[in-house]
Structure formats: structure tokens, C-alpha cells
Amino acid sequence: MGLRTKFLSLLAVIACGFMAYVHFLVIPIAGQQALDIAEGGHASQLQLVSEAITPPLLESDIASVYEMLNAIKEDNPSWLRITLYSPKGDRLYPLADPEPIDPKLPTLTLTKSVGFLNPAIGKLNISIDMTPSIGVAHQLEHSLLTGLTVLLVLLLVAIWFEVEIIIRRPLNLMVKAARKLIHGDYEAELPLHMRGEIGELATTFSDMRRTIERHHIDMAEELETEKQRAAALNQQKQQAEFEATHDMLTGLLNRREFYRQLDELLEQIQSGDAPHGTLLYIDLDHFKTVNDSCGHPAGDELLKQITREIRTTIRGDDVFARLGGDEFAVLLKRCNEMSGVRVANTICTAVKAYTFSWGDQNFSVGASIGVTELKQSSEGIEAALASADAACYAAKRDGRNRVSIGEEIDTEKPDMTPANRANIGLEPM
């Protein structure tokens, strides 16, 4: 589809859109405004009638009221019916029952209170034939539509000739020159004689095609170099971000990242955005024996294998971190204290059941775990960590390979009294 066809289509769309806008929005509004003006005129006239009959009505001069209303009805043939009611609702005018109004006629009914008192001394109703007003509104709509249509046609024709001579033909020359440029022809005709923006565009195009061949190869090489550099930087960035938040030996989160996530969860719990959570502080039992007997490589391998064992006992969205040495921590989200104790016991069982082999030696280790529930009343991560660490120390002191609950617990729970909360878990093995 050529530019001419596209432009004609655009003009057609604009014309259709404009006419639709005029037909559906402007014309109805104009017609409605004409009807509103007519209605306002009738309302104003009704106000004058109400004020005119107020004095004789106050004096109970019904005859004068009748004369006024009869004269007003004769002067306003579009007023099909005038009815005056007393404050009690009795009809004062006309005395005879009014003739029925043809239901096919478009009518407007207006009501106005008579008098300046409260309550009013009467109520005046009029029924108006809106046929003349509607005819005037339709005539106004037709005239407006005709005028706007003629104006639109003249405007579109002027735009068409302007665009055809000043824009489309010069652009067509540059399009042909661009197509020839693809095939290496740098001598195609350009509208360099044109003035204004089109002439500047043609001159710029001419300058551009003189240098495009020289720069093409350089740009391609530079682009490839930048791609390689960006890929390398992105890889380095990802590696740096991983190293900043993870333990390089086990691949777990490191202490700093774990503290950050613990602080974040505790803030959510304290603000009510999260229900609760449980912190597990894990210290391996007899790890030093493996390290001293077989060296640091064996200790490192044990940490990796124990990490895999513990992973199988927790959920995928739980936070698992190595705090340093043989100390680990698990942050159980949406988990209360009793559920946390069950998870901790599962970890103790899994670690105790695992046998680590190094050369011809086999080792059995255990895990002492301190449990602290995170609640809205928790003071902060320092208090939570201190409570879990103290509970872990108590588990080691009381025989290792067991679970101990920290001091920050809810003493209102019937099964968590001071007498039985010191340690809960496996017996020493």
C-alpha cells in the first residue's frame, strides 16, 4: 500500500471519525441544547404567569385569575393545558374537565408553586406541545451538519494537495534512493532543490549515504565487542551478587543475607502482614572430631553432605543458611513453635542417622538445635538470635542431639509451662 493510498485512507478515517463525532455527539448535544433553551423559555414564562396571578389569587379574585389564564392560553397555542390547584389539591382552573391530550404528541409538563408564602397559595401545571421546538431543533441539527460537512470537505481537499506536492512526491524520490542504496547505488536522484524540512532531510540523506558504507563495518565490530563486554559484566555481576549473599562451600545463604531475611520476616510478623515463624539454630555435634581426625577437607565435605541431608527435611521456601563453622540456621515461615519443634526433631533424626565416611573411617554426628518462635511481641533479631543460641547451648549442655526451646515462648500455652519446656526432643544417643 503506497503513501497516497495510506494518506487517503487516513483522510477517510479522519472524515468518518469526525462525521461520527458530529453525528453522535455534537448534533445531539446541539439539538438537546435547543430543546433545553425552549424548555427554559417555557419555565420562565410559567414563572411570570405564577407571579401575575398571585395578587388576584391572594384577594380571592378568581374571575381575574380566569381572565389572565384564558388570555395566556390564547397567546401560547403550544400550551395544551393550564391547570390551577388550591393548596388542598382542588382544581380552581378550569372549572370543566380539561380535554384529553393526544398521547402521540411530544409533551412537556411543568409545575410551579404560586405565591411567596410557605405553604404556597396554589400550584400551577402546564402541558406543552413540544412539536414546534423539536422541529426547530431538527432544523438546527441539519444546518449544523451541512455546514460542518462542507467545511470538512474543503479542509481535506486542501490538506490533500498540500501533502501530495510538498511531502509525498519528495518522499517518494528518497524512498527510491534508499532502495538503490541497499544495492550500492549512491547516485540516485534526491529532491535537494526543496526548501524547508524536506530539503534538509534530502541534504542529510545525501550526506548520510556518503558515509554509511565506511561506518558499517566499524559499527558491526563495535557492536559485537559491546555485546561480549556486556555479557561478561552481567556474568560478573551475577557472580558477585551470589557471593555476597551465599556461603561458597555449601551454597547456602550466608550470615548477612540470613540476618536480612530474618529481620524482614520479623518486621512482617510485628506489623501483622505475616502470621508467625520459627527460628532454628543448629550446631553440629562431634564436628571437631572429624576435623581433627581427618583434616579440613573432610570437615568441608561433611558440611556439604549434612547440608544435603537437612535440605530434605524442610520446605522449599524455608530459609536455610550457614552462619559459620558448623553452625546453621533455618527460618521456618508460617510455622508456629510446636511445628518448628517437630521439624527440629526431624532434622536431629536425619543427622544422627547419617554416617559420614572418609577413607576407611566412619563417623556419626548429631545436631543440637535451639528453637525460638517469632511473634509480634518479639523484640528484634538480636533477641531472637540470642534466645535460639541460648537454647542450642542448653541442648548441648543437656546431652546433645536434642531440641531445646528458647525463653521467648508464650507461657499462656498449657503444654508449654516452665516445668516441661527446658528440652523437648530426642534423648541422647
Distance CA 338, CA 346 (A): 13
Predicted local distance difference test score (pLDDT) of residue 424: 41
**Domain residue ranges in the chain:** 3-134, 190-245, 255-405
Q: Any bridge partners for residue 277, and if so which?
A: 333, 374
Residue 392 near residue 281, CB atoms below 8 Å: yes
CATH of 255-405, one of 3.30.70.270, 3.30.499.10, 3.40.50.720, 3.40.50.2300: 3.30.70.270
- CB contact set of 331 (below 8 Å; sequence gap of 6+): 258, 261, 262, 265, 277, 278, 279, 280, 318, 319, 320, 321
Residue 403 near residue 423, CB atoms below 8 Å: yes
Distance CA 153, CA 130 (A): 35
Residue 317 near residue 333, CB atoms below 8 Å: yes
Distance CA 122, CA 115 (A): 7
Residue 374 near residue 386, CB atoms below 8 Å: no
Cell of 52: 401575575
Predicted local distance difference test score (pLDDT) of residue 400: 92
- CB contact set of 410 (below 8 Å; sequence gap of 6+): 337, 373, 375, 416
Predicted local distance difference test score (pLDDT) of residue 1: 59
Residue 129 near residue 106, CB atoms below 8 Å: yes
Predicted local distance difference test score (pLDDT) of residue 367: 95
DSSP structural state of residue 393? H
Predicted local distance difference test score (pLDDT) of residue 416: 40
DSSP structural state of residue 115? S
Note the pTM of the prediction, 2 decimals.
0.47
Predicted local distance difference test score (pLDDT) of residue 264: 93
Cell of 150: 462542507
Distance CA 257, CA 379 (A): 20
Cα-based torsion angle of the residue sequence 219, 225, 230, 232 in order, rounded to the nearest 10 degrees = 170
Closest of 130, 136, 85 to residue 108, by C-alpha: 130
Cell of 362: 566412619
DSSP structural state of residue 315? -
Predicted local distance difference test score (pLDDT) of residue 362: 93
Predicted local distance difference test score (pLDDT) of residue 237: 92
Predicted local distance difference test score (pLDDT) of residue 217: 67
Angle of helix 62-75 relative to helix 27-58, nearest 10 degrees, comes to 160
Distance CA 427, CA 429 (A): 6
Name the stretches of the chain with pLDDT < 70. 1-4, 191-195, 213, 216-217, 408-429
Q: Any bridge partners for residue 374, and if so which?
A: 277
Cell of 263: 529481620
Predicted local distance difference test score (pLDDT) of residue 411: 34
Residue 405: strand, helix, or coil = strand
